[in-house]
């Protein structure tokens, strides 16, 4: 395993960390599924992974419970990074949230505690003050933020009186490369670690035949799999550590072995040139809202504003971030090849993260109604 420095600290973290999403909740889990997750985490430690990323949001805290069981007897070997829900961003909310995480993880301290999403209804200065107070109390060692724009990162840093930001957690993969423009250069300069979630784009490794062919060619060249090529590319960026999630031991070992590859300069140039997502502006009335198999969705702005399904962050929260701070990530859409040129045929939301895409869709609608086309990356599929 290879390691990088955690921010400007003296801590060393594995270049591949294990995420804990998808654990389900205590109500819908079963013994076999829970035992498999614990086995994955323990095997990760054996393979040299020392960074584990979790959150009170994942499974309503159940992910933290499982991780707490897995790390019993190995606490001093690992770095635990957890996050609090955006609606817990007030001073008292942060204090309450951390106690819940510590209890579920069965530990006295967190190595890293992060703002999961910005909350426009709570002053960021108040949130940062709470995190610094937790450092003073010894309940957390380092602090970070997640899903922040560069301006928000700078704002958070300006409110730090005694600490510095150690991390920024952001989505980063070959399909979502927005942070290359400003956040990665800034983090490189300021010695802030980028924790990259969804490095494999949740299994959608390419969006067109040209990208797929390149990955297969590079995989043959390096005697590896396409996913390994991507993981190696992700962690090849100086400040970036990849957070992967799997329920399969073979996939875990494959991800770990990916760091041993040596992509040459020509490989990297080809990847960078081929994986460029074209930003489109799509009228919102052309987007078909497909229901999730397991979870209900909203069909009107009023429903999204009411948020009876308790989506976090809420569409309204994302809408305010959009209006007042300009924070918005393009939505992901899927179109048959015949509709990708934005004609009147319906375009569907990518099932990559359907509820996540729904949140962004309704945030845009709350902010702008039907008047403005929404920024989107459109993946083509065969008709």
Q: Which two tokens stand for residue 207?
A: 């969006």
Quote the pLDDT of residue 353. Answer: 85
CA distance 231 to 241: 10
Mean pLDDT of 249-256: 95
To the nearest whole percent, how much of the chain has pLDDT over 90? 85
Which range (150-164, 169-183, 226-240, 283-297) has the least confidence?
283-297
- 18 strand-pairing partners: 52, 244
**Cβ distance 11 to 238 under 8 Å?**
no
Whether this model's pTM surpasses 0.85: yes
CA distance 26 to 34: 9
User: pLDDT confidence of 28, banded at 50, 70, 90?
Assistant: confident
CATH topology of domain 3-274: TIM Barrel (3.20.20)
The C-alpha angle 174, 175, 177, rounded to 5 degrees, equals 75
Of the candidates 247, 249, 245, 205, the one whose C-alpha atom is nearest the C-alpha of residue 229 is 205
pLDDT averaged over the chain? 93
Mean pLDDT of 41-53: 97
- 17 strand-pairing partners: 243
C-alpha distances (whole Å) from 122 to each of 88, 104, 118, 127, 191 are 9, 26, 9, 8, 27
Between the two ends of the chain, the Cα-to-Cα distance in Å is 43
DSSP 230-287: HHHHHHTSTTEEEEE--S-HHHHHHHHHGGG----HHHHHHHHHH--PPEEEE-GGGE
Which range (63-72, 78-87, 213-222, 329-338) has the least confidence?
329-338
Q: Please state the length of the chain.
A: 383
- 51 strand-pairing partners: 79
Give φ, ψ of 25 to 5 degrees.
-110, 170
Quote the pLDDT of residue 5. Answer: 97
Which range (7-16, 78-87, 319-328) has the least confidence?
319-328
Mean pLDDT of 291-296: 71
Q: Which two tokens stand for residue 168?
A: 């920024």
User: pLDDT confidence of 338, banded at 50, 70, 90?
Assistant: low
Mean pLDDT of 326-348: 73
CATH code given to domain 279-381: 3.90.1530
**Cβ distance 51 to 42 under 8 Å?**
no
User: pLDDT confidence of 337, banded at 50, 70, 90?
Assistant: low
Containing H/E element for 42? helix 31-46
User: pLDDT confidence of 29, banded at 50, 70, 90?
Assistant: confident
Q: Is the dihedral of CA 179, 237, 42, 225 positive or negative?
A: positive
**Cβ distance 241 to 35 under 8 Å?**
no
The residue from 41, 58, 197, 377 that is catalytic is 58
Q: Is the dihedral of CA 71, 72, 78, 81 positive or negative?
A: positive
User: pLDDT confidence of 352, banded at 50, 70, 90?
Assistant: confident
Quote the pLDDT of residue 30. Answer: 86
pLDDT at 342 over 60: no
CA distance 356 to 128: 26
CA distance 211 to 349: 21
Longest dimension (CA), the chain: 59
User: pLDDT confidence of 339, banded at 50, 70, 90?
Assistant: very low
From-to residues of CATH 3.90.1530 in the chain: 279-381
Quote the pLDDT of residue 291. Answer: 63
Q: Which two tokens stand for residue 155?
A: 């704002």
From-to residues of CATH 3.20.20.100 in the chain: 3-274
pLDDT at 370 over 80: yes
Respond yes or no: is residue 352 known to be catalytic.
no
Sheet holding 279-282, edge to edge: 279-282, 374-381, 331-336, 347-349, 287-288
**Cβ distance 47 to 18 under 8 Å?**
no
Of the candidates 196, 205, 247, the one whose C-alpha atom is nearest the C-alpha of residue 226 is 205
Q: Which two tokens stand for residue 13?
A: 């973290």
Give φ, ψ of 246 to 5 degrees.
-155, 155
Highest mean pLDDT: which of 123-127, 336-340, 379-383?
Answer: 123-127
Only one residue has tokens 């073979």, namely 250
Quote the pLDDT of residue 380. Answer: 76
Q: For the segment 171-198, what is each residue's pLDDT rounded down to a tens digit?
A: 999 999 999 999 999 999 999 999 999 9
């Amino acid at each position: 395993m290879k390691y990088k420095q955690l921010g400007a600290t003296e801590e060393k973290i594995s270049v591949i960390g294990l995420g804990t999403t998808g654990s389900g909740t205590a109500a819908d889990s079963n013994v076999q599924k829970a035992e498999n997750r614990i086995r994955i985490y323990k095997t990760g430690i054996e393979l040299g992974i020392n960074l584990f990323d979790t959150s009170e949001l994942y499974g309503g805290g159940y992910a933290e419970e499982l991780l707490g069981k897995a790390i019993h007897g190995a606490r001093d070997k690992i770095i635990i990074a957890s996050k609090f829900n955006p609606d817990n961003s007030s001073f008292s909310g942060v204090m309450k949230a951390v106690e819940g995480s510590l209890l579920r993880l069965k530990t006295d301290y967190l190595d890293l505690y992060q703002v999961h999403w910005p909350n426009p209804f709570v002053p960021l200065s108040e949130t940062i003050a709470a995190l610094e107070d937790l450092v003073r109390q010894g309940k957390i060692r380092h602090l970070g933020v997640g899903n922040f724009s560069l301006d928000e990162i700078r704002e958070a840093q300006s409110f730090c009186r005694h600490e510095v930001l150690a991390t920024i957690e952001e989505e980063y993969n070959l399909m979502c490369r927005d942070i290359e423009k400003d956040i990665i250069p800034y983090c490189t300069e300021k010695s802030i670690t980028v924790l990259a979630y969804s490095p494999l784009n949740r299994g959608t490794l390419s969006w067109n035949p040209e990208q797929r062919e390149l990955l297969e060619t590079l995989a043959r060249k390096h005697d590896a799999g396409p996913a390994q090529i991507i993981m190696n590319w992700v962690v090849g960026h100086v400040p970036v550590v990849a957070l992967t999630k799997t329920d399969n031991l073979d996939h875990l070992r494959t991800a770990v072995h990916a760091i041993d590859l040596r992509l040459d300069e020509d490989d990297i140039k080809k990847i960078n040139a081929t994986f460029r997502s074209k930003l489109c502006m799509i009228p919102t009335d052309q987007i078909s809202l497909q229901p999730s198999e397991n979870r209900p969705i909203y069909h009107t702005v009023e429903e999204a504003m009411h948020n009876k399904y308790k989506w976090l962050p809420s569409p309204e929260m994302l809408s305010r971030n959009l209006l007042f701070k300009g924070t918005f990530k393009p939505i992901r859409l899927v179109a048959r090849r015949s509709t990708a040129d934005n004609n009147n045929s319906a375009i569907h939301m990518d099932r990559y993260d359907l509820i996540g895409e729904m949140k962004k869709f309704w945030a845009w609608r709350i902010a702008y109604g039907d008047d403005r086309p929404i920024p989107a990356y459109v993946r083509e599929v065969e008709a």
